[in-house]
Amino acid sequence: MDRKFQAVRGMNDLLADQMPWWQLVERRARELFADYGYQEIRVPLVEHAELFQRSIGEHTDIVEKEMYSFEDRGGDLLSLRPEATAGLVRAAIEHGLLHNQKQRLWTAGPMFRHERPQQGRYRQFHQIDCEAFGFAGPDVDAELMQIAARFWKMLGLSGLRLRINSLGTPDSRRQYRALLVAYLERHRTSLDADSLRRLDSNPMRILDSRNPAMRELIAGAPALTDHLDAGSREHFERLRVLLSAAGIAHEVEPRLVRGLDYYSRTVFEWTTQAVGSQDAVCSGGRYDGLVAQLGGEPTPAVGWALGIERIVGLLRASGAAAPAALPAIYLVLAGEPAERAGLLLADRLRDALPGAGVQVGLGGGSFKSQLKRADMSGAGVALIIGDDEVARGVVTVKLLREDASQQECPWEELPGRVAALLGRGKS
RNA sequence: GCGGGCGUAGCUCAGCUGGUAGAGCCCCGGAUUGUGAUUCCGGCCGUCGCGGGUUCGAAUCCCGUCGCUCGCCCCA
C-alpha cells in the first residue's frame, strides 16, 4: 500500500473525546424543542440542485461556488444540501403540511459547502435548525429568538450577542437597493476590490464588509432601516417591543444583511468573540416569499440555524467539563475459567444494575496490567475473578477510589453488594 | 480562489552554523509468580510528508509538490 487514506478535506472524524459535548448539545436541543412544542422531522441530505438554486439564489456564493453538485446515474442534477431550510420547505409542501396549518418544526444534521476550511468552518458541518410556518406576526420571530436564548442558558453559555435587522419586503428592498447603488456609484473610487465586485451582484452585502477602510463610506450610506415600507417597519417595531418584554437583550444592527436571497423582513444573528473569526453561532430570519416561490400556497415562514461545531467550540472554550460516560464496575478476569464465567456474570450485573456501566477486562495480559486498565477505565469498583474465585464461587471486590480492604462476595450476593457500594459512592 | 504558519515515533515535541535521529507520554514486560493510581529497570515504536537538486555526507540548505492549520472572501 503506497498511500494512506485520509478524510476528505474539511470533513472531520468526531472521535470519542469530542462526543460527550456533541451528545450534550444534541440532548439539550431535543429537550429544548420539546419544551416549545416544536416537532422533529428529518429530510434527505441530497436534493435536486434546482431546489437550492431557486431558494438560496443563483447569485449567492453558496450556489455559485460552494455546492457539491453531481449528476446521478439517472442523469438528475443533485446537490448535497448546503443548508436545511430549502429541504424542509420542499418536504412541508410535498406532504401538505402547510395546508391551512401552522407548523413548528426542527431538524438537525450535516450540511455541505465547498469552502476553504478554517477554525469553525468545515466542508461537512452540522446544524440544528428550526422553522415556523404559517405565522405572519413578529410574535413567532420573538419566540424563535427566545428559544435560542434559552438554549444558551441551558448550556451555560454567556457572552453571546443578538443583533437584529429588517430587510423589508422585496419591493422596499428593491427601492432601497437602488438608493444604495446610486450612493456607492458616487463613491466608486473609494470602494475596495471585493466591494466593486459586489456592486453588481449583491450591493447590500457591501454593508457588512469587514474591511476597516470601508467603514466610513458605509457609515455614510443610506440606512436600510430608514427605507422600510410601513408594514415592515411596524413588524420590526413590534418585534423589538416583544423582545424587550420577554427580557431578550438585542441590538439593532442596520448593516446586518444575510447572504441568502430568500430573507424578508426580520433577520438576526448571534455572535461570539470566543472562537476564532467565524463568529456567527446562530442566525436566521423571515422568508415569507419562499414557500410560494417553491410552488406552495403563500405561507409566511421564519427560522434559524445554529452551527454545532461552533457551539461545541464555545463549550470547550468555556472550560466546562463534559460529563463522560464511565463504567462504574470493571471485571478483572484472570485465567481461562474466569474468562469463561466473566461474560455471563457481567450480564447478570447489568440486569441488576441497569445504567451503571460494567466493563469486562478483555484481552488478558498480566494481572498487574489488568488492574491498571481497571484503574484507567475510571471505574470505582474492580471485581476480580481468578481460578481461586471461580473454584469457590466468589468474587473479590476491590474499591479503586478509596482506602478499604478488599472483600470476597459470593456470586449470588454480588448485585446487592455492588448496588450498595455504588449507592454509597454517589451520596 | 488568495495570503501567513507548520509537516520528525500512535500523541506532544527537541534536534544550534549539514556529520547519518532523540525525549516525555502511551502501550507491553519485570522488580512485587494474583493487586492499580507513586517509584525503579527494560522493551516496542520512525520510508524525518513526498519528489528532485547542492554536497564526500541532508531531518537540517535550495526548488517543486502534497497535506494540515490560521486568516481573507463568505458563512453556521
Q: Give per-residue pLDDT as tens, A111-167.
A: 999 999 999 999 999 999 999 999 999 999 999 999 999 999 999 998 899 999 999
Specify the domain boundaries for CATH 3.30.930.10 within chain A: 19-168+228-317
Grid coordinates representing A124?
Answer: 461537512
Find, among A314, A292, A310, A313, the residue nearest to A301 by Cα. A292
Specify the domain boundaries for CATH 3.40.50.800 within chain A: 329-421
- Nucleotide at minimal C1' distance from the A364 CA: B28
CA of A360 to C1' of B42 (A): 29
* CATH code of the domain made up of A329-421: 3.40.50.800
State the helix-helix crossing angle for A230-245 and A138-155, rounded to 10 degrees. Answer: 40
CATH class of A19-168+228-317: alpha beta
Cα–Cα distance, A277 to A71 (Å, whole number)? 35
Measured from the CB, is A256 under 7 Å from any atom of strand B? no
Q: So what's the pLDDT on residue A2?
A: 42
CA of A399 to C1' of B41 (A): 29
Find, among A220, A224, A135, A223, the residue nearest to A172 by Cα. A224
Helices (H), A269-410: 290-293, 308-317, 336-352, 367-376, 387-392
Percent of chain A beyond pLDDT 90? 62
Residue written as cell 457551539?
A311
Task: Indicate if the pLDDT at residue A174 is higher than 80.
Answer: yes
- A373-408 pLDDT, tens digit per residue, is 898 888 999 999 998 899 999 999 999 888 778 899
Grid coordinates representing A147?
Answer: 428559544
3-state secondary structure of A59: coil
- Nucleotide at minimal C1' distance from the A390 CA: B34
Which protein residue lies nearest to nucleotide B74, measured between its Cα and the C1' atom? Answer: A61
Measured from the CB, is A214 under 7 Å from any atom of strand B? no
Measured from the CB, is A313 under 7 Å from any atom of strand B? no
To the nearest whole number, what is the mean pLDDT of chain A?
90
- Nucleotide at minimal C1' distance from the A382 CA: B36
Q: So what's the pLDDT on residue A369?
A: 86
3-state secondary structure of A76: coil
Measured from the CB, is A134 under 7 Å from any atom of strand B? no
Residue A379's Cβ-count burial label (10 Å; 0-12, 13-18, 19+) is buried
- Measured to protein CB atoms, the chain B nucleotides within 7 Å are 1-3, 27-30, 32-37, 47, 67-76
- How does residue A5 score in pLDDT terms, banded at 50, 70 and 90? confident
